[in-house]
Amino acid sequence: MSLSTQLPAAPVTPMPAEVVERQVAPKRPRKPTLLRAERPGVRIAAWAAVIVCGGFALLPVYWLLATSLTPRTEVFSFPPQLFPANPTFEAYESLFTNPALFNYLRNSIIVSVITAVLSVVVSAYMGYAFSKFRYRGRRALMYFVLASQMFPQALLLVTLYTVFAAYGLLNTYTALVLSFTTFTLPLCVWMLKGFFDTIPDELIEAARVDGASRLRIIHSIVLPLSAPGLVAAGLFAFVRGWNDFIFALTLAGPDKQTLPPGLVNTFIGEASTAWPELMAASIVTSLPVAIAFIALQRYLVGGLTAGAVKG
């Protein structure tokens, strides 16, 4: 008798169906991703487009920097030099020895900050009223506010000049702040209105059931939740007041002018133009806005896209 006939057969444990299917079923080929499916020519064309667009956007900034480091006698050299042969910081040194530029800088900070604060305060209440209140004429009033953006701002300059002259507001900060706030309010109102639409009405109703007043609801619940939208609106108003040229040149005198018209009056003359100093001043005055955008970038993106999808 053989050994195999003496030992009992071991019980066979059935394998789960999912294990058998996993072992028997052939592996499915991976679906090619977008990058793998692209041909090399498409990828090269995409990178070429990115490089061209980036160069188109950054070349003026580099030319500002290169011109600011070029001596005045070599600015108009031919052929133009991509890199300064004899770089110098004389243009930047002249900025800090010119007291008029500090006066323009102070005016720009005062006007831009007040414009941003006033625009945010007014547009917050208007945007909340458009978003959460229901009354007759609401939609018509909303489109009326938006339609004010259709008129060219320079077209209203003569009217504003006449009104401010009649009330003795020319050559004052008040004229600049009121004019800048007037043109920033429509966009700020619609930006915050879209942000307030994303706040659930149930949250406001719950606060009202707990006995909170309308002002308490706005200040303690709605505005803290709308911080990204408020930052985005304030930054837009700040940049509007910082970069304006025509209103600051017309409505303000030499003592109250901001940086854009101040730089033109300082470095651009009838006979000659101090291009290195002008380029250096342009770079220095652009730094505050660039730093503000970098520091508040996440709030700005969140505020601008909050009203795109209603949650």
- Does residue 84 sit in the same domain as residue 105? no
Question: Does residue 230 contact residue 78 with C-beta atoms inside 8 Å?
Answer: no
Last residue of one domain, picked from the residues 88, 122, 146: 88
Last residue of one domain, picked from the residues 23, 53, 88: 88
- Does residue 115 sit in the same domain as residue 234? yes
Domain count, the chain: 2
- Does residue 212 sit in the same domain as residue 65? no
Q: Cβ neighbours of residue 153 under 8 Å, at least 6 residues apart?
A: 183, 246, 247
- Does residue 78 sit in the same domain as residue 135? no
Give the residue carrying structure tokens 């800048």.
180
- Does residue 163 sit in the same domain as residue 291? yes
- Does residue 180 sit in the same domain as residue 167? yes
Last residue of one domain, picked from the residues 72, 88, 104: 88
Assess if residue 98 is contained within a domain: yes
Assess if residue 80 is contained within a domain: yes
- Does residue 270 sit in the same domain as residue 168? yes
- Does residue 65 sit in the same domain as residue 150? no
pLDDT of residue 309: 47
Assess if residue 33 is contained within a domain: no
Assess if residue 249 is contained within a domain: yes
Domain that residue 74 falls in: 38-88
pLDDT of residue 79: 79
Assess if residue 288 is contained within a domain: yes
Assess if residue 22 is contained within a domain: no
CA–CA separation, 186 and 194 (whole Å): 12
pLDDT of residue 120: 94
Assess if residue 63 is contained within a domain: yes
pTM score, whole prediction: 0.76
- Does residue 79 sit in the same domain as residue 109? no
- Does residue 60 sit in the same domain as residue 178? no
- CATH code at 144? 1.10.3720.10
Question: In the chain, what are the helix, strand and coil shares in percent, each to the nearest 5?
Answer: 70, 0, 30
Give the distance, in angstroms, between the CA of residue 159 and the centroid of all CA atoms in the same chain: 30
Assess if residue 197 is contained within a domain: yes
- Does residue 133 sit in the same domain as residue 246? yes
pLDDT of residue 97: 84
pLDDT per residue as tens, the chain (311 positions)? 444 445 455 555 555 555 444 554 455 555 555 445 457 778 888 888 888 888 888 888 888 888 888 888 888 777 777 788 888 888 888 888 888 888 999 999 999 999 999 999 999 999 999 988 888 888 888 888 888 778 787 888 888 999 999 999 999 999 999 999 988 998 899 889 988 988 888 988 998 898 888 889 888 889 888 888 898 899 889 988 898 889 999 998 888 899 989 888 888 877 778 888 888 888 888 888 888 778 777 766 665 555 444 44
